Amino acid sequence: MQRDAGDVSSSKPSLEFFHYKGVPFTKDSIFTEENIRFVESEFQVQDDDVYNVTYPKSGTTWMLEILSLIYSNGDTARTRTVPNWLRSPWIETTNGQEQLKDLTPPRVLTSHLPYHIFAKSFFTSKAKIIYTLRNPKDVVVSLYHFSKISRFFQDARSVDEYLDIFLRGDLLYGSWFDHVRGWMQMKGRSNFFFITYEELQQDLRGSVVRICDFLGRELDEAALDSVVENVAFKAMNDNKMANYTYLSDEFLDHSKGSFMRKGISGDWKNHFTIAQCDHFHRVYREKMRNFPVKFSWDEDWTEEGAPVL
């Protein structure tokens, strides 16, 4: 474990937030209080909708591509010609609200919203949610790098500073712990499926099969091969419709880095010091006390709390 060699000065003016039911949103035209309220209270979920829900940097874009290709039976015509954010708009953004008007059912939609402010109409519908989670230490590292290019996440001088921001939940969409605790209340419901980024890494094909089972989609071997081949990190990195190359500078500063960064599990080991690891573990244990689900990253520490490296 080492301190990140790329620690640099913050180059962005500090962002301002508004809070909606305790959740911070960056003050910007794409996030407005009216719009979040509209999504929560008035947005009409349809029974055949599928929602790709995540905490940021947990595998959203990867799952979006998997779902696009499952719904096209592995045909790449659309994933190679239509940018991913138009295929599966973010329901809580003002842009996403406009974009989803052009979709034909069944709609595959994306959201980072926490459970308690998600569209109320979902909870009385037959629509489905796929919730993707990722080792939160890798989320911190991914966020730290992403914040240099994203206009909506405050950047930080070091991973240490980002760790503080993350553990306080003082960032767009709020606390990881609240997000996971909130959504995982749905575990066991027939219209809720959860999977981890790490499972996608370990067994992509098997994961796609499980997702298809959940969605009631039958793909033949050739279609399955196509999904797996086209959602590999390299394939997505090479696909301008999946790698955000065409996303406007209003959202991403492309001169500072690329969205598709490393795409690996365990990068936290290259960034966290032992002290940061200890600190993280103490907060994690406290915040996830009595949480009934075990994740692969629970094995990152021994029973005594020592990091497993």
Residues identified as active-site: 112
137 neighbors 268 (Cβ within 8 angstroms): yes
Q: Which of residues 37-76 bind ligand PPS (CB under 6 A)?
A: 54, 56-62
136 neighbors 237 (Cβ within 8 angstroms): no
Closest-CA residue to 180 (of 217, 139, 220, 240): 139
Q: How many residues touch ligand PPS (CB under 6 A)?
A: 19
In whole angstroms, give the CA distance from residue 28 to residue 151: 9
Of the candidates 261, 269, 281, 287, which one interacts with ligand PPS according to CB under 6 A?
261
**Residue 262 engages ligand PPS in binding (rule: CB under 6 A):** yes
143: Cβ contacts below 8 Å, ≥ 6 apart: 56, 57, 153, 162, 166, 171
CA dihedral 35, 56, 185, 90 (to 10 degrees): 40
Of the candidates 17, 18, 233, 301, which one interacts with ligand PPS according to CB under 6 A?
233
Closest-CA residue to 300 (of 270, 271, 268, 275): 268
31: Cβ contacts below 8 Å, ≥ 6 apart: 18, 25, 92, 93, 94, 152, 172
| Residue 236 Cβ vs ligand PPS, minimum distance, rounded to whole Å | 4
| Residue 282 Cβ vs ligand PPS, minimum distance, rounded to whole Å | 24
Of the candidates 267, 268, 272, 276, which one interacts with ligand PPS according to CB under 6 A?
267
| Residue 50 Cβ vs ligand PPS, minimum distance, rounded to whole Å | 17
Of the candidates 100, 156, 211, 236, which one interacts with ligand PPS according to CB under 6 A?
236
CA distances from 60 to 11, 84, 147, 221, 300 (A): 26, 11, 16, 25, 23
Q: Which of residues 84-113 bind ligand PPS (CB under 6 A)?
A: none
| Residue 200 Cβ vs ligand PPS, minimum distance, rounded to whole Å | 7
Beta bridge partners of 195: 132
- For the window 204-223, what string marks contact with ligand PPS as x by the rule CB under 6 A? --------------------
Nearer to ligand PPS, 155 or 267 (CB): 267
Q: Which of residues 163-182 bind ligand PPS (CB under 6 A)?
A: none
Number of C-beta neighbours around residue 4 at 10 A? 17
Binding site for ligand PPS (CB under 6 A): 54, 56-62, 138, 142, 145, 231, 233, 236, 260-263, 267
